[in-house]
Structure 1
């Protein structure tokens, strides 16, 4: 196999599909893309434990799949997105990297440090994003102005302006909530290498300052920010509580499926005990 944009010749596809618990799709189409996206989000959690422990993050495919697939850990967008892009490329999809500016309810101009994907199908382009740690998609959605979808009770909307900037929103009880903006300018793995260096090492990066983990299911999200553990449901009955530091390892393992070795568990407990 020749070299590819997303290094899919190095992908361990069989192990990836086993991690997701699904069979290999027979052909690249919208139905298969939705099923693959949903299975990835369900099986591989969002988390930044390595960054929280002061370790660098690699966006090399071999390192990503060793961590997220073989060691059954999670990661953040700079790991999820190249992995998913390699899978799609290997399966015959036309896939393009994009960059987003995370907003989380604001209109501030922030650096384009979110990695997401455009997937071109016969019926047009789709937004695929398996690595957004704040109220992200369960399935891909068409990149069409005014698109609004309900995914398991989570409502998402896409709008664009005259300048070609797209806004990705979700719906809160009080109204629309801006998650991130993006353009259709292609981004490449080397762009993600640069963005990853900032997001995983810069002291002003939100990923450096606190532990994060998220798992999204239809109707419910589990979210850990530092020691604040929240369960958010589409039909109210939300719960938030502050965890004692010693409960962090068990919570990561039981709720998010993130099993750490004893040394890392102890380091995390000590960090948040302090």
Structure 2
């Protein structure tokens, strides 16, 4: 389903920093990857640590392609980031290639209070030994860095200094929550309905082109760090800490490119960099 056979798995593993050889060049350790829980944790953790969330192609007026090879070229070989459809399509292809059972879900963002938002977020459900796990490498700086169990709603899951839980609602709806300070906050909700790659093509079209999409007109670059979650939205850089503290700072045009490289590991071509700075300055 996820065209995992088209993915250069070795290149992907090198990009996320796992599966290195034992030193003899044989790649022996890479062949040890199996569709078990240990591998799922390792791949998910490494992916979210290596590949940032970003919408810069949308801001630069480019279409966002979801074919496996196009995503591989951008996120793996060009060492860029991407948003949820790219991130989770790439993760799904890699997991499928390793041998996991992977299915998609569509989620509603709940980080904006009581507003009822459309289903625009792509997540994955991976089944390991009959137990479903939520996998999501594409919810930006507040998303989980590791899989979250779905078979035990209400169970708190610690991921370093961050805590998550899945809450069950009516009609089979599940809600991913995060603990910020001493307050639980909803991140997104999703139903049992399976989504397929073709469904993400439609959602991607909305997110990358609809006038009401939050991805239009401003840079959104985020990274779920272990000690602090970092987000650039427009001209504001935010650092979120596990205890709920938030630090904010404005980003000047001349600081934009060094910040992208320092905080998110993103280096753009000379042409794209110049255009991005121009867009950033246009709001002055």
What range is the shorter-chain TM-score in?
over 0.9
Q: How do residues 204-215 of structure 1 correspond to structure 2 at under 5 angstroms?
A: 204-215=212-223
Aligned to 2:132: 125
Q: How do residues 26-41 of structure 1 correspond to structure 2 at under 5 angstroms?
A: 26-41=33-48
Aligned to 1:164: 172
Aligned to 2:147: 140
Are residues 1:22 and 2:30 paired? Answer: no
Do the aligned partners of 2:223 and 2:230 also contact (CA within 8 Å) in 1? yes
Q: How do residues 240-255 of structure 1 correspond to structure 2 at under 5 angstroms?
A: 240-255=248-263
Counterparts of 2:219 and 2:112, CA distance in 1: 21
Counterparts of 1:20 and 1:134, CA distance in 2: 17
Are residues 1:203 and 2:211 paired? Answer: yes
Do the aligned partners of 2:181 and 2:242 also contact (CA within 8 Å) in 1? no
Counterparts of 1:222 and 1:130, CA distance in 2: 15
Match of 2:235 among 227, 231, 256: 227
Counterparts of 1:217 and 1:268, CA distance in 2: 24
Counterparts of 1:36 and 1:175, CA distance in 2: 29
Match of 2:49 among 37, 42, 60: 42
Do the aligned partners of 2:126 and 2:132 also contact (CA within 8 Å) in 1? yes
Structure 2: tracts of 5 or more residues without a match? 20-29
Q: How do residues 257-272 of structure 1 correspond to structure 2 at under 5 angstroms?
A: 257-272=265-280
Residue range with higher mean Cα deviation, 254-263 or 229-238: 229-238
Counterparts of 1:210 and 1:196, CA distance in 2: 17
How far did 1:235 drift? 5.0
Counterparts of 2:182 and 2:71, CA distance in 1: 38
Aligned to 1:79: 86
Residue range with higher mean Cα deviation, 114-123 or 231-240: 231-240
Aligned to 2:27: none
Do the aligned partners of 1:33 and 1:140 also contact (CA within 8 Å) in 2? yes
Aligned to 2:100: 93
RMSD between aligned residues: 1.4
How far did 1:93 drift? 0.4
Q: Please give the per-residue CA displacement for 1:196-253, whole angstroms capped at 9, x wherever unaligned.
A: 0000111110011310111112221111111101222225664310011121111111
Do the aligned partners of 1:6 and 1:189 also contact (CA within 8 Å) in 2? yes
Counterparts of 1:42 and 1:214, CA distance in 2: 11
Residue range with higher mean Cα deviation, 252-261 or 141-150: 141-150
Residue range with higher mean Cα deviation, 245-254 or 58-67: 245-254
Counterparts of 2:126 and 2:134, CA distance in 1: 6
Q: Please give the per-residue CA displacement for 1:54-92, whole angstroms capped at 9, x wherever unaligned.
A: 211011111100000011000000101111111011000
Do the aligned partners of 1:219 and 1:235 also contact (CA within 8 Å) in 2? no
How far did 1:42 drift? 0.4
Aligned to 2:23: none
SS for the counterpart of 1:130 is coil
Do the aligned partners of 1:134 and 1:179 also contact (CA within 8 Å) in 2? no
Q: TM-score, normalised by structure 2?
A: 0.91
How far did 1:125 drift? 0.4
Counterparts of 1:97 and 1:56, CA distance in 2: 22
Aligned to 1:8: 4
Counterparts of 1:242 and 1:162, CA distance in 2: 42
Are residues 1:190 and 2:208 paired? Answer: no
Using a 3 Å threshold, how does the CA distance of structure 1 residues 134 and 22 change in structure 2: closer, same or farther? Answer: closer
